[in-house]
């Protein structure tokens, strides 16, 4: 298959992941181990950090501010657990978007190697983020069990909900990785964008608390649907909004396909700039 036909292939996004799967896994392992190399606790920090975060959220919001996610609730832990779901989803996209503009710029040696598949760099960043999210999710599930006495069986749908979210992130990172080569200030901007995504999504507040006039803006945030659905299946035991999931998946894949197309079209100029 020619390069042009490969880019126009409807499964181009999937192929960018499956064709280089062993390489991506290898680089993800290297990044995870490299991040904690030389530290006293090593990879165990990936468990300690979310555990401390959840403990702090529970103490501050549950016992000091006495925050309640539902007006009728008197549970001190509920707010922290529900909020933690939003924090995990935001951390994933924030980490990837922040790293996106630096993926190509930070790896100039890979640009000069024709045989290296640069299009895998976003998947490597996402894989690293997913590893930390997975570890934190174990802490979350334990907290849900200790809090409610059980874990809803509908939690099995969480990976399904995350799938289009991950695809969307890949598309955005392809765009950012390309633009980051030509616009070096983009890395600074993404820190602001990440904060904006957090506060315009129902991370620290329920969607029902948003005034109806502003709710449509909050719904447009790519985090909103994902956070609401994960909370619904992992905490409340509800069902997935399959209609909304399908729309989200189609839009996410379209953005990812365009992002990959743009990245591959512009990569010819990377070496000249770097």
Mapped to the 3 state alphabet, what secondary structure does the chain carry?
CCHHHHHHCCCHHHHHHHCCHHHHHHHHHHHHHHHCCCCCCHHHHHHHHHHHHHHHHHHHHHHHCCCCCCCCCCCCCHHHHHHHHHHHHHHHHHHHHHHHHHCCCCCHHHHCCCCCCHHHHHHHHHHHHHHHHHHHHHHHHHHHHHHHCCCCHHHHHHHHHHHHHHHHHHHHHHHHHHHHHHCCCHHHHHHHHHHHHHHCCCCCCCHHHCCHHHHHHHHHCHHHHHHHHHHHHHCCCCCCCHHHHHHHHHHHHHHHHHHHHHHHHHHHHHHHHC
The Cα 252–Cα 166 span in angstroms is: 9
pLDDT digits (tens, 9 = 90+) for 212-249: 888 988 999 999 999 999 999 999 999 999 999 999 99
List Cα–Cα distances, 234 to 55, 59, 201, 222, in angstroms.
19, 22, 18, 19
Q: State the pLDDT at residue 142.
A: 92
Q: What is the length of the chain?
A: 274
Average pLDDT, the chain: 89
Does residue 209 or residue 255 have the better pLDDT?
255
φ, ψ of residue 240 in degrees (nearest 5):
-75, 140
Residue span of the structural domain in which 97 resides: 11-273
Q: For tokens 């990879």, name the residue.
A: 43
What total number of domains does the chain contain? 1
pLDDT band, very low/low/confident/very high, at 194 (cuts 50, 70, 90): very high
Average pLDDT over residues 201-211: 90
Give a yes or no: residue 1 inside a domain.
no
Average pLDDT over residues 115-136: 92
Tokens for 223, please give them: 């985090």
Give a yes or no: residue 53 inside a domain.
yes
The Cα 24–Cα 128 span in angstroms is: 10
The Cα 170–Cα 23 span in angstroms is: 17
Give a yes or no: residue 192 inside a domain.
yes
Exposure string of 115-143, with b = 16+ CB inside 10 Å and e = fewer, is eeebbbbbbbbbbbbbbbbebbbebbeeb
Q: State the pLDDT at residue 77.
A: 82
Give a yes or no: residue 77 inside a domain.
yes
pLDDT band, very low/low/confident/very high, at 95 (cuts 50, 70, 90): very high
Q: State the pLDDT at residue 55.
A: 86
Q: State the pLDDT at residue 40.
A: 63
Give a yes or no: residue 134 inside a domain.
yes
Q: For tokens 């904006």, name the residue.
A: 196
Residue 17 contacts residue 256 (beta carbons within 8 Å) = no
Does residue 273 or residue 95 have the better pLDDT?
95
Q: State the pLDDT at residue 33.
A: 84
pLDDT band, very low/low/confident/very high, at 107 (cuts 50, 70, 90): confident
């Amino acid at each position: 298959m020619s390069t042009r036909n490969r880019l126009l292939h409807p499964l181009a996004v999937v192929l960018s992941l499956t064709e280089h799967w062993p390489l991506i896994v290898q680089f993800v392992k290297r990044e995870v181990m490299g991040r904690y190399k030389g530290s006293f606790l090593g990879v165990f920090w990936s468990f300690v950090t979310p555990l401390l975060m959840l403990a702090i959220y529970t103490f501050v919001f549950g016992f000091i501010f006495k925050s309640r996610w539902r007006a009728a609730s008197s549970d001190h832990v509920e707010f922290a657990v529900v909020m933690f779901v939003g924090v995990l989803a935001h951390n994933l996209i924030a980490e990837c978007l922040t790293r996106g503009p630096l993926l190509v710029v930070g790896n100039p040696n890979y640009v000069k190697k024709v045989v290296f598949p640069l299009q895998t760099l976003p998947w490597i960043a996402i894989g690293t983020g997913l590893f930390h999210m997975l570890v934190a999710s174990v802490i979350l599930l334990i907290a849900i069990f200790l809090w409610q006495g059980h874990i809803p069986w509908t939690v099995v749908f969480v990976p399904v909900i995350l799938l289009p979210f991950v695809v969307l992130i890949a598309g955005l990172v392809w765009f950012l990785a390309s633009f980051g080569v030509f616009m070096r200030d983009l890395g600074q901007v993404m820190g602001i964008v990440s904060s904006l995504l957090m506060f315009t999504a129902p991370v620290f507040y329920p969607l029902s608390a948003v005034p109806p006039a502003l709710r449509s803006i909050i719904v447009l945030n790519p985090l909103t649907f994902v956070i609401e659905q994960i909370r619904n299946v992992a905490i409340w035991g509800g069902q997935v909004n399959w209609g909304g999931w399908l729309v989200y998946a189609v839009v996410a894949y379209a953005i990812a396909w365009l992002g990959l197309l743009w990245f591959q079209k512009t990569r010819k100029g990377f070496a000249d700039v770097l």
